[in-house]
Amino acid sequence: MAGRELTLEHDNHPVAEELIAGRYRLLEPLGRGAMSSVWLAQDEELERRVAVKMLAPSADRARFEREARAAAALSHPNICALYDYGEADGRPYMVLEYLPHGSLEERLKDGPLPDAEALRLATEMAAGLAHAHERDLVHRDLKPANVLFDVEDRAKIADFGIARMGGSGTLTEAGTVLGTASYISPEQASGQPAGPASDVYSFGVILFRMLTGRLPFVSANAMELVRMHRDDTPPSVAEFRGDAPARLESLAAAALAKDPADRPADGAALMRELRRGGGGGDDATVMLAPGAFPASSGATRVLRPVPPTRQRRKREFWLVPLVLVLLGGGVALALVTTSGGGGTPTTNPLPSLGLPSVPTAGSTKPAATAPSTTAPTTTAPPTTARTTTHRVTTVPVTPTAPPTVLPTTTVAPPPTTTVAAPPTTTAPPPTATDTTPTTTAATTTGP
């Protein structure tokens, strides 16, 4: 398809078509380098903005393909995503996630970052490294220019151009060491293979700069910088800033250790150190001050219910028996009140209870204890004329009542309410026990 001609200034190679692969419309250049150029483009099929990275004609094709394979092997919120890969007019291209909020290098030009932002970015970079290291991929060129930000201001690691995947051979690129001399690990400066701990060292340099606003080693000569990273002991964060957060300061010192064995082993180890610094181990809940992280940072805040204290549980445990005791006391008080001597007896018993009758005052026959399976039997004194249970008032019978046995009579509740029950009736509660004579007689007299 014919289209307007776009010129790449770094190699003067014209792009013959406005559309790449008939789908990606190039809009404007985002960056250029010796290896490639990056363009802002519109995906005409999915109607979204993307970044199209095109290989320069004289650049190393193997490195470009390696970067594409490395990016395709990763899928993480803190790693720049690869959407597509192909070739147009004999030139390889890859389509990447468009990250419009610039790079960390641009933010660090103004000096150190606020502590909360430094902590957030360190955590997001460590999470991206952990994902890559778990898949046996080492970035080998981690620096602020390769940490980009999406529309939600989330940090994403990009440019895996010199990444090492698994046991693959080393890809040599002239000028690579010089171009990243400020962040190179001691083992890379010595020509030794890079591993996950090499990315940890570069992470430490970035963290040092986020906290202090400067690099641990500074020199106008790139080769001198390489030597310093290889041989010299790095300064501490406290030498340039005494009020830096202790956990970030100690993490930067650990990551900048000369021996890889003395550093956190990989991105996952960095994550553990950051979480441990938050207090309480990997699963600890960190209490964040309001506004500590920007609303767009994507940070998850966890709220956990606070369990009741031991004292509260003990208080609730003793509440039930206390209520039962109070209820029992109320019942006893009611019994005492209704059974008090003198005055006119109360005549409103519970109609649903059948109670034994009370012996006459003149009876001389021995009393028989009512059978009971729930409480011991108590014999009332001989002078007792009436017994009240459950608000049932019995009226003493006249002394002249004949000792003959009368048939059991049930009287309607008001106004006279005493019911004579057979001896097989269930015994009353243990708080009051009635005595029952051998011969049962009851006479109910109105008030």
3-state secondary structure of 123: helix
CA distance 126 to 118: 12
Cis preceding-peptide flag for 305 (omega within 30 of 0): no
- CA 27 to chain CA centroid, Å, is 43
Q: What is the DSSP string of 215-253?
A: -SS--S-HHHHHHHHHHSPPPPGGGT-TTS-HHHHHHHH
CA distance 108 to 208: 11
CA distance 270 to 274: 6
CA distance 364 to 438: 10
Count of CB atoms within 10 A of residue 219's CB?
14
CA distance 197 to 266: 5
Cα dihedral value 346, 351, 354, 358, nearest 10: 20
SS3 content of the chain, % helix, strand, coil (to 5): 30, 15, 55
Tokens standing for residue 169: 């051979």
Cβ(305)–Cβ(296) below 8 Å: no
3-state secondary structure of 79: strand
Name the active-site residue from 11, 43, 60, 141: 141
Tokens standing for residue 304: 């956990």
Q: Is the dihedral of CA 37, 38, 44, 45 positive or negative?
A: positive
Q: Is 11 marked active-site?
A: no
Which residues, including other chains, have CB under 8 Å from residue 71's CB and lie 6 or more apart?
Answer: 79, 80, 81, 82, 94, 96, 160
CA distance 279 to 295: 23
DSSP 8-state symbol, 18? S
Nearest to 155 by CA among 198, 131, 114, 126: 126
Cα dihedral value 228, 234, 237, 241, nearest 10: -60
- CA 26 to chain CA centroid, Å, is 44
Helix 115-134 / helix 196-212 crossing angle, nearest 10 deg? 170
CA distance 447 to 444: 10
- The catalytic residues are 141
